Structure 1
Amino acid sequence: MKLSIPMMLAMLVQTVYNLADGIWVAGLGPQALAAIGLFFPVFMIIISLAAGIGVGASSIVSQKIGERDKTGADTAASVSMLLSVIIGLMGVAVFLPVISSILGFAGARGETLRLALEYSVVLIYSIPLIMFNNVANGVLRGEGDAKRTMIAIMVGSFLNIALDPVFIYVFGWGIKGAAYATVLSIAVSSFLISYWLLFKKDTYVSFRLRWDGEILKKILKIGIPASLAQITMSVAIYVLNVFVVKAGGDYGVAVFTSAWRVVNFGTVPLIGMATAVTSVTGAAFGERNGEKLETAHLYAVKLGFFVGLMVTTTILIFAPFIAKAFTYSQEGERLYGELVKALRILSLFLPSVPFGMFTSSMFQGVGQGLKSLIVTIMRTVIMQVLFSWLLVFVLNIGLTGAWWGIVLGNATSALITFTWGRFTVNQLKREFQVS
């Protein structure tokens, strides 16, 4: 709870920013909202690369702390941050030439494509900054410093919320203004983290220009599957966007973009807890303490289930009021009825999330990143996409089928993942007792 609560607050503010971003852009019309929705999966791929290396760094740092290896923790932090800059520069070179084709394949046409490109190009140039920010946050989480991670995220998010209306409407930059606000907020957050790690130097880990091939392998062994796991979620959203375009056009994407942002708001406390699960299970694994490992996993899942249930109930009750925030423009009024329906169905996704998400975090904490990747692919690419495809195209249910496909696919995979996680924990407990 000590690690979870600051991360919950940080993620809460960050998600409020995401909602505010969508609400301000909604004032530009459904095409602008659809534009950021079509780029969202691509942006999440970028974030996934950064977050994956951050997870790898967090896991190895926490394991080294559990082993009482200060030098190893320092090396893990240094290698991961150097790696983030290298991957960031590579990301710009990869995404910039192909972004127009990616957006076009997803269904962006005419004015929607133009707006999506305006928004996306600004963010693509900021990939090195995004990479560094996420990985440095992972290092702080790994050493248990959730408070400063919270401060960095909250400062950036509040700044973004304040700058959005200024850049979009006061300066008249439109959708490009939303992108500039995001980049500037990330830059300020990164400056804070850099100050603590590189200049003030009062953190547990110390950053030094050192390279260790074995540490790099360990980080990548966890980080690459973690990145791929999150990328598959982005690919799944990309595919679901294609389904939604087929079923409901630009208006369908606008509904999905708005509803999904609200549902993601409900995952905020769960994501905060998931980052803590990785750190605590990583330390327990390094200490070879099976009881602590099991307690962290099960306590988080139980608490997460009740949190998800409460958020679902809230969205079910207040869906009509929430939908108003995204449909206040004259054109946006057409989305209202479908958006209320989407919010109520998609909110049912939340109670089952902890069973899969926290088990995946536990796999990352104990260094079994491949299992985390497998269960994520099963949930997103196999289950959610498969169920949505069946309901949208085979049973011809339309947009509603896409929403139910996400809910049913997640619930099915969560049950399988949690069962596998319990088996893994019991197996590790037996190994610790033997040794």
Structure 2
Amino acid sequence: METSHKSVATLLGDPKKAILKISGPMMLAMFMQTLYNLVDAIWVAGLGPNALAAVGGFFPIFMIIISLATGLGIGTNAVVAQRIGAKDKSGAESAAKVAILLVLMLGAGVTFLSLISIKSALILMGQTGEVLTLCLQYSYIVLPFTIVFMLTNVANAILRAEGDAKRAMMVIVIGSVLNVALDPIFIYLLKLGVAGAAYATVISAAVSLSMAMYWFFIRKDMYLDLSFRKNQLDFSFLWKILSIGIPASLAQLSMSIAIFILNKFASIAAGAKGLAVFTSAWRIINFGTVPMLGISAAVTSVVGAAYGAGDMNKLEKAHFYAIKLGLMIGISVMAIVQIFSKQIAFLFAYSREGSAIFNDIVNALRVLSLFLPGTPFGMLTSAMFQGIGHGVKSLIVTIFRTIILQVFFCWFFVSVMKVGLQGVWWGIVIGNLTNAVVAFSWGKSVIRKLKNSKRV
């Protein structure tokens, strides 16, 4: 039990050390997950464009499931961390168990609905012929494991809520590495094609979940005892988890919707070339935001514990320190992209055909990298809102950035000012920076009110 108790001690101790110790492993986990998504696509690409289109066609459906799972994980993380901070161990255990039951029920419902509607949904999305057949083959293997994906997210959230970032990292990293290793075996060695990619995905997810379940229910060396024979469940935690989790899920979906709209603007500005430039440059910018995601996971846990303990000074320190850390990382990554923009662009434009968009990618990277320093102000304030249970505020911050500001400025520069592709890049950057100012100011105001109410 010593590992978990040390993790809880870290969570409840110096907020700066807690942010560092939790965010480090989570950064690595997020990086490995991002890398796995890229490598997985590369393995499938070897089967040809139809296979790649089939797996890509399933991606929007899978993103809805993952968005729901991620949101519920964030809600679980915040509520459990709050009870740990309040030194209410039995309440934290009850909240964690309620979350597990919630995911089991929702997972079963989502699995049933997705299986009976997947074919119609894919046809509605425009899939036909061999691509539709391959996509259904992939879907019918992955969808029955919906509960596994959702439970893994919640198990990971419980680990983070305890401050046990190392094990939370292991769940993600081992699953990602295993998936990358199994892909070539199932796809090419066993000659299962697209089905092989699906089997690699579900097996790696099942192994990740099995690790967490082993720690929780067999080894039982966690801080929280999740045995369902102990204590009665307090279902009042259900609404608390959902009040944070549902807005967090919608926030995740809003980001996917925003990318779809931004793709449209890039296409309007410069056709297929604009789309190729945007998707190439945005992959690099996404890599730059991976450390922010790790810090964001830490913020929700540390802020949640501080809020539960009623220590608003610690809450404020955790929020501000996380933003300073994120800002330093954002500036560093931006500088790297600025310096090596030509070398990075060459990765996407090394062919004779690709050389035609080389300069456009260089320009996109140089402008879009300005997006990174402003990101922590909005993203980490949103995570702070989740930690204190203000899920709707978190959702508003995300939607304000993704769907309102970025889309508005892109529309203004592309459709009104007729700036072309440059308008897309500057629209994204200006929208993000505007949101950074508004979100951070709002976050400071909320923390100030919490501190004042505590003094009364």
CA contact 2:22–2:163 (8 Å) conserved in 1: yes
Give the aligned residue type for 1:366.
I
SS at match of 2:225: coil
The residue identity in structure 1 corresponding to 2:376 is P
Aligned to 1:192: 211
Residue of structure 2 equivalent to 1:354: 376
Distance (Å, rounded) in 1 between the aligned partners of 2:48 and 2:359: 17
1:327 and 1:177 map into 2 onto residues whose CA distance is 30
Q: 1:129 to 1:376 in 2, by over 3 A?
A: same
Does the aligned pair in 2 maintain the 1:92–1:127 contact within 8 Å? yes
CA contact (8 A) 1:107 1:245 kept: no
2:449 corresponds to which residue? 427
Is 1:92 paired with 2:114? no
CA contact (8 A) 1:387 1:405 kept: yes
- For 2:287, the equivalent position in structure 1 comes to 265
Contact 1:75 1:208 in 2 (8 A): no
Instruction: For residues 192-239 of structure 1, give each alpha carbon's deviation from its aligned partner in whole angstroms, at most 9, with x where no partner exists.
Output: 111111211111112133543201111111111111221211222233
2:403 matched to 1:381?
Answer: yes
C-alpha separation in 2, matches of 1:397 and 1:36: 35
C-alpha distance in structure 2 between counterparts of 1:390 and 1:186, whole Å: 43
Contact 1:6 1:150 in 2 (8 A): yes
What is the aligned partner in structure 1 of residue 387 from structure 2? 365
Greater Rg by CA? 2
Specify the alignment match of 2:148 in structure 1.
Answer: 129
- Aligned-partner SS, 1:144: coil
Distance 1:318 1:17 in 2: 24
Q: C-alpha offsets along residues 275-296 of structure 1, whole Å, 9 cap, x if unaligned? A: 1111111111111111101100
Q: Deviations over 1:253-310 (max 9, x none)?
A: 5554443333222112111111111111111111111110110010110110110111
Structure 2: distance between partners of 1:110 and 1:337: 37
Describe how 1:234-383 pairs up with structure 2 within 5 A.
234-244=256-266, 255-326=277-348, 338-383=360-405
Q: 2:100 aligns with which of 73, 78, 81?
A: 81
Which residue matches 1:149? 168
**Deviation digits for residues 323-373 of structure 1 (CA, Å, limit 9, x no counterpart):** 454567887777655544444433322111100011011111111111101
Letter in 1 for 2:281: A
Distance 1:164 1:193, change over 3 A: same
Distance 1:130 1:293 in 2: 31
TM-superposed CA distance for 1:56, in Å, is: 1.1
Conserved? CA contact 1:26–1:326, under 8 Å: no
Greater CA drift, 87-96 or 275-284: 87-96
Is the 1:27–1:329 contact (alpha carbons within 8 Å) kept by the matching residues of 2?
no
Give, in whole Å, the separation in 1 of the partners of 2:123 and 2:265: 14
Aligned counterparts of 2:121 and 2:181: Cα–Cα separation in 1: 31
CA contact (8 A) 1:59 1:367 kept: yes
Structure 1: distance between partners of 2:121 and 2:270: 20
Which residue of the other structure, out of 392, 399, 402, is the alignment partner of 2:424?
402
The answer (yes or no) to whether the contact 2:86–2:310 under 8 Å persists in 1 is no
Q: Which amino acid aligns with 1:51?
A: T
Identity of aligned residues (%): 54
Cα separation, 2, equivalents of 1:232 and 1:2: 30
Give the aligned partner of residue 65 of structure 2: 46
Deviates more, 1:332-341 or 1:278-287: 332-341
Amino acid at match of 2:34: T
Q: Secondary structure at the match of 2:340?
A: helix
Q: Aligned partner of 1:424: which letter?
A: V
SS at match of 1:180: helix
1:205 partnered with 2:224: yes
- Cα deviation for residue 72 of structure 1 reads 0.5
Q: Which residue of 2 aligns with 1:140?
A: 159
Give the unaligned 5+ runs of structure 1. none
CA distance in 1, matches of 2:120, 2:415: 25
Counterpart Cα distance in 2 of 1:185 and 1:282 = 30
Listed one character per residue, the Cα deviations across residues 143-175 of structure 1 (whole Å, up to 9, x for unaligned) are 111110011111111112223334444444455
**Deviation readout 1:5-56 (Å, 9 max, x if unpaired):** 1111211222222232344445556776666556544433221111111111
CA distance in 2 between counterparts of 1:8 and 1:63 reads 23
Judging changes above 3 Å, is the alpha-carbon distance between structure 1 residues 402 and 264 closer, same or farther for their aligned structure 2 residues? same
Relative to the length of structure 2, the TM-score reads 0.84
Aligned residues: 434
Change (3 A) 1:246 1:185: farther
The code of the aligned residue for 1:57 comes to T
SS of 1:126 mapped into structure 2: helix
Change (3 A) 1:345 1:34: farther
Superposed CA RMSD in Å reads: 3.0
Amino acid at match of 2:65: I
- 401 and 104 in structure 1: CA distance in 2 versus 1, 3 angstrom threshold: farther
1:182 and 2:201 aligned = yes
Matched, 1:159 2:159: no
Moved more, 196-205 or 380-389: 380-389
- With normalisation by structure 1, the TM-score equals 0.88
Equivalent of residue 78 in structure 2, options 59, 65, 81: 59
